Amino acid sequence: MNTTVVLLSGGMDSATLLYHLADAGHAIKTISFDYGQRHVKELTAAERISRLKGVEHMAADLRAINSLLGENSLSGRSVEIPEGHYEEEMMKLTVVPNRNMIMLSLAIAWAIQLEYDAVAYAAHSGDHAVYPDCRPEFAGAMDRAAALCDWRPIQLLRPFVDMDKGDIARRGDELGVPFDLTWTCYKGGALHCGKCGACRERIDAFAKHGLADPTRYE
């Protein structure tokens, strides 16, 4: 049986990844990170989804490094969350420097300690233009590093790297992912705002294949 640590943000992509790997027979533990993000309520979503799936969930507190991440609109507070569909220049405001490398490094360390086989994250093709650490080239480099950072190599799994969010939504629908429990909105309010790039992408993902969107928007 494959043993895998899944990076679970609490969003629809990582939730689908959890269900996708569980369906493939992996034994799984999940990990999430609090780095001072505005949408910290995604961590509650990650914990609920993990509990529903019956897997152990680790929430790592990285708030001490928040000041190292600059004034982007997610981990900072001086830059407003951009609204509208993903456009490369606008959405660069939401880039948290080196976020995936930091998170993957810690997940790999936990996998080594657990003597697990792999770490998985839900990077997809829609993220490539905006987020450098979601590109296949980055994932490939991290996979090579994970194989060398300890005497026992760890594999980096990224099964959605060539899929878009709409196709991930369809896969999640097939697997019965509780999308109503997931959190996407960058603003982190009481409800999804329906206006930020993340919300617009979520709406479009369900619409691509005519799936019912269970999300409550403002």
pTM: 0.92
Classify residue 217: in a domain, yes or no: no
**What CATH number does residue 30 fall under?**
3.40.50.620
Classify residue 214: in a domain, yes or no: no
Q: How far is CA 66 from the centre of its chain?
A: 18
Classify residue 84: in a domain, yes or no: yes
pLDDT, tens digit (0-9, with 9 covering 90-100), for 125-183: 876 566 788 788 888 999 999 999 999 999 999 999 889 999 999 999 999 999 999 99
pLDDT for position 212 = 96
Classify residue 188: in a domain, yes or no: yes
Classify residue 203: in a domain, yes or no: yes
pLDDT for position 78 = 60
pLDDT for position 27 = 98
Classify residue 145: in a domain, yes or no: yes
Classify residue 119: in a domain, yes or no: yes
Q: How many distinct structural domains can be found in the chain?
A: 1
- pLDDT above 70: residue 90: no
pLDDT for position 48 = 98
**Mean of the per-residue pLDDT values of the chain:** 89
pLDDT grade for 69, boundaries at 50, 70 and 90: confident
Classify residue 215: in a domain, yes or no: no
CA dihedral 166, 105, 50, 161 (to 10 degrees): 20
pLDDT, tens digit (0-9, with 9 covering 90-100), for 32-66: 999 878 778 899 999 999 999 999 999 999 989 88
Residue range of the domain that includes 78: 3-208
Residue 71 or 47, more confident: 47
Asked if 31 and 106 count as a contact pair (C-beta separation under 8 A), the reply is yes
